[in-house]
Structure 1
Amino acid sequence: MSTGRNTARFRFGAMSRRAALTGAALAAMGALAACGGDSGGQAAQGDMAKGAPEGAEVTVVEYASVTCGHCAQWQETVWPEFKAKYVDTNKVRFVFREFPTPPAEVAAAGFLLARCAGEDRYFQVIEEIMASQREWQQGISPAATLSRVATSVGLSEDEYRACITDADALAALDERIQAGRAEGVTGTPTFFVNGTRVPDSSLQGLSAAVDAELAK
């Protein structure tokens, strides 16, 4: 996707020096990650998951970014049926891992906002931000989107700004990104089924991999 159309220059606002440095590192790292492009499978610190509990027979891991157009498309066209078939039935544990893509500042702020919303609303926020990518292409700024989403989950403007400039939270996100890169992830969305990368992210491709593991 053309990330240049997705945002004007987005700034976190009044960051502390440490938070600003971390944000700059995220932006630089994001320039190396591509929307559309590898490993992972073991439980990792900070994992957000749905479906079967940890230790399930089958674990599906998605590395994704809220600013990735391919991720948003997968979320809209594949996720509903995949969720109904495997996640809602507790056949698999679905793990979502954050991997910001350009504009990395926007993606990082979106991920921090989702975590500040709480575990019960985390996926709601992720999905809403992804769905809002259409707005950015029409000229609505990502900053306006994030502010609106923050309000929808009950955060005040001050709480929202504190959330996305929290130095410790930014450092923790940075560690999760580094862990993904250490696993060989270079782009999003990237999927693994029980630790094996599945290049075909269609429902058919993922189902084939999941069903093969369930049949063992």
Structure 2
Amino acid sequence: MTVSRLLSLPLLALAPLMLVACGDDAATDGTVARGEPIPAIAPPAGQQWSDVVTITPEGGYMVGNPDAPIKLVEYASHTCGVCARFATTGKPVIKQKYVPTGVVAFEQREVFLNPYDVILATLAQCGAKEQFQPLSDQVWEEHDPIVALLQSNPQAVQAAENLPLNQRFAAIAEATGLLEFFAARGLSADQGRACLADSAKIEALVNTTKAQADKDKVTGTPTFFLNGQRVDGTAWEVVEPQLQRAGAR
């Protein structure tokens, strides 16, 4: 899909996609032989690895030791229900148990299934880099209410589709309550409007996101890579044994 095609898709027609256009939640019993644990790596003085955030060359947001021997990458869509499930089952364990050791770093990369994903990602990236993953996680934690918001004002959304690009996304975010949602979580409505009006930056984001997903042959969300190798599965019960086999504890 070209950038112009993605940005011009009618949002109303995409509502059903938010429920089905992501990977299934396949799981195994997780019986994977464990490798030897890698010793914990101390963070710089006065820091914790869970507070270290890096924007990677691929455009992802990595939390943890940038030189961690185990790197887990998730390609995710903010409107994907399976991604939402992983955000509530796997991410808390990754961030509270594995990342603090300095052995595991977790990187989130975008996949845009529809224009709503572009709006949500732009708002999540609008503030400090340290806020991106926490804001994304809050979107997924409220997945069903967010979907309801996106479907709550179809007339206003339809009208916004006719606006210039530098006005369209802010108008949609206003009409669907997304500006209010993010404002309640620390990103002011004015900040959100300004980010959504930056059409050049949004187009660059879409280009980068698409190029990286194409390069890694990502066709559904979530898709995981562990140290560059694709993980065959989407559920935490599949991902955690792979981390442990690599030496995470």
How does the TM-score come out when normalised to structure 1?
0.74
Checking the alignment, whether the CA contact within 8 Å between 1:63 and 1:98 is kept in structure 2 is: yes
The 1-side partners of 2:226 and 2:10 are apart by 27
The 2-side partners of 1:199 and 1:156 are apart by 39
Checking the alignment, whether the CA contact within 8 Å between 1:63 and 1:97 is kept in structure 2 is: yes
Task: Give the aligned partner of residue 41 of structure 2.
Answer: none
Higher mean Cα deviation, 186-195 or 174-183?
Answer: 174-183
2:232 to 196, 199, 205: 199
1:61 to 61, 73, 91: 73
Q: How does 1:94-173 map to 2 (within 5 A)?
A: 94-101=106-113, 104-136=114-146, 139-141=148-150, 143=173, 144-173=176-205
Cα deviation digits, residues 4-39 of structure 1 (max 9, x gap): xxxxxxxxxxxxxxx977622798xxx7x93116xx
Checking the alignment, whether the CA contact within 8 Å between 2:9 and 2:115 is kept in structure 1 is: no
CA RMSD, Structure 1 to Structure 2 (Å):
3.1
Q: Per-residue deviation at 1:95? A: 0.5
1:35 to 22, 28, 44: 22
Equivalent position SS for 2:101: coil
The 1-side partners of 2:183 and 2:63 are apart by 24
How does the TM-score come out when normalised to structure 2?
0.65
Q: Per-residue deviation at 1:100? A: 1.8
Q: For residues 161 and 56 of structure 1, do their structure 2 counterparts lie closer, same or farther at Cα, with a shift above 3 Å needed?
A: same
* Paired AA for residue 131 in structure 1: E
Task: Give the aligned partner of residue 214 of structure 2.
Answer: 181
Equivalent position SS for 1:63: strand
Larger Rg: 2
The 1-side partners of 2:125 and 2:10 are apart by 17
* Paired AA for residue 78 in structure 1: G
Q: For residues 25 and 45 of structure 1, do their structure 2 counterparts lie closer, same or farther at Cα, with a shift above 3 Å needed?
A: farther
The 1-side partners of 2:225 and 2:84 are apart by 18
* Paired AA for residue 159 in structure 1: Q
Unaligned stretches of 5+ residues in structure 2 = 12-16, 25-55, 152-172
* Paired AA for residue 70 in structure 1: V
The 2-side partners of 1:173 and 1:26 are apart by 20
Q: Are residues 1:72 and 2:84 paired?
A: yes
Q: For residues 154 and 211 of structure 1, do their structure 2 counterparts lie closer, same or farther at Cα, with a shift above 3 Å needed?
A: closer
The 1-side partners of 2:9 and 2:214 are apart by 14
Q: For residues 168 and 25 of structure 1, do their structure 2 counterparts lie closer, same or farther at Cα, with a shift above 3 Å needed?
A: farther
2:101 to 70, 77, 89: 89
Unaligned stretches of 5+ residues in structure 1 = 1-18, 38-42
Matched residues, number: 187
Q: Per-residue deviation at 1:111? A: 0.5
Seq. identity, %: 30
Q: For residues 207 and 136 of structure 1, do their structure 2 counterparts lie closer, same or farther at Cα, with a shift above 3 Å needed?
A: closer
The 2-side partners of 1:171 and 1:26 are apart by 17
Checking the alignment, whether the CA contact within 8 Å between 2:23 and 2:234 is kept in structure 1 is: no
Cα deviation digits, residues 55-111 of structure 1 (max 9, x gap): 32111000001100000011112222233221232221101001122xx11111110
Q: For residues 21 and 196 of structure 1, do their structure 2 counterparts lie closer, same or farther at Cα, with a shift above 3 Å needed?
A: closer
Equivalent position SS for 1:124: helix
Equivalent position SS for 2:74: strand
* Paired AA for residue 56 in structure 1: A
Checking the alignment, whether the CA contact within 8 Å between 2:22 and 2:82 is kept in structure 1 is: yes
